[in-house]
Amino acid sequence: MTAISLDEARAILADRDLIAVGARGDDARRRRHGNKTTFVRVFEIHTDAVPAALPASASPGEIRVTGKPPSVAAAVAAVKAARALAGPTPLSAYSLDDLLELAAGGLASLTDLVARLGAAGLEIVAEAPIDRLPDAAGAIRAARDAGVQVPRLTVRELSAGNPLRFATLARDIQSSVGGVRAFAPLARVSAVAQPSTGYDDVKQIAVARLLADNIDSIQVDWALYGPKLAQVALTMGADDVDAVSALEGDLGRRRSPIEEIRGNITAAGLEPVERDATWKTR
């Protein structure tokens, strides 16, 4: 599969025909994945408050430690506690930029820190926000040198005036270091001065699928963007859904998170496939 050029990508973003844009993204997605759409149920725990046990209603495919640890010792302690909590469920934790800042000594120190976290039971760094890392490829390589995977590229805030920057950067990072499984191109924090719209967001999904052709999955966050936008994104080039709730709750079977995500994927004419944090199907 060959990536489109930057000129083609600019033309897509300028195109007011959203159906035509979506068709291009969807065609690229279907050539790669067919109808299959993966999703992962995530149970998030804050680094400062790791519980003693999972709720009885939880059925996660990933335990994810969130938040910025105040110190290396605190980070290691939280991972040890989360590892005991997770049991056989894959464990991810932290953002790579926060770990780089915590290491406070460059990439060699980052490798040492991640090695300590790996020894405590960490398998996966939860995300690598490519807009927050001065050398994203180097940081990912440093973490991998410690034996911990970094499979997911994210974007904290979009680049004003350069909407193609991060899809291009994600492609270049994959070319440099490989091993990236998913790219989530939508910003996790909305810019106050220039907030995006749903119209802009789904175009970004399509362009990411077409530009970052060497990354297997384009991902959308269920909890952050909600079922409706996520469903539309799946028809525009996305093929993986992150952060579906792992809690079943008491709203009844049809309104449970697992039934909702399956129903939304099926309604989009796609086949839902549940996975865990290592991309193994459940």
Tokens representing residue 47 in the block: 């680094």
One DSSP character per residue, 85-139 reads HHTTS-EEEEEHHHHHHHH-SHHHHHHHHHHHHHHHT--EEEEEETTT-TTHHHH
Q: What is residue 196's predicted lDDT score, i.e. its pLDDT?
A: 66
| Angle (nearest 5°) at CA 61 between 78 and 113 | 30
Q: What is the dihedral of CA 96, 167, 33, 253, to 10 degrees?
A: 60
Nearest partner of 267 among 60, 61, 37, 59, judged by Cα: 37
What local confidence, expressed as pLDDT, does residue 13 receive?
80
Residues in the chain: 282
pLDDT digits (tens, 9 = 90+) for 60-118: 999 999 999 999 999 999 999 999 999 999 999 999 999 999 999 889 999 999 999 99
User: Rg of the chain over CA atoms, in angstroms?
Assistant: 18
The parts of the chain modelled with pLDDT lower than 70 are 1-2, 191-196, 249-255
